[in-house]
Amino acid sequence: MNPAARAADLLIGAYQRRISPRKGWSCAHRVAHGGPSCSAVVRDVLRRRGLFRGVVPTAAQFLACHRAASLLMATQVQGVCCCGPIPLPFRFGGRG
């Protein structure tokens, strides 16, 4: 891994260990489809492809997460849409 990819990998790892367990919601893609979260997928992509060659697969994962969030809109599900480096919490379904 080049230095930029290594730095991104370290940042994602820190997010997974320190922030993700405390934030109170999960990745919309994982909630809707099972499997790994966006952060795990992106971390794997960075390790295999590097930072610059991983841009397109990372964008595709974020798009899939956005689509999963759209699927969950009619349910009583809470989670996060990983549309960038800052997770965006969501709550779908009934009002209150």
Q: What angle do CA 8, 10, 4 make, to 5 degrees?
A: 35
Instruction: Report phi then psi at 78, rounded to 5.
Output: -115, 145
pLDDT greater than 80 at residue 59: yes
CA distance 61 to 77: 20
| Secondary structure in 3-state letters for 25-39 | CCEHHHHHHCCCCHH
Report the DSSP beta bridge partners of residue 78: 91
CA distance 50 to 37: 19
83 or 49, which is more confident: 49
What pLDDT band is residue 81 in, cutting at 50, 70 and 90? low
Mean of per-residue pLDDT scores for the chain: 82
pLDDT greater than 50 at residue 23: yes
What pLDDT band is residue 86 in, cutting at 50, 70 and 90? low
What pLDDT band is residue 95 in, cutting at 50, 70 and 90? very low
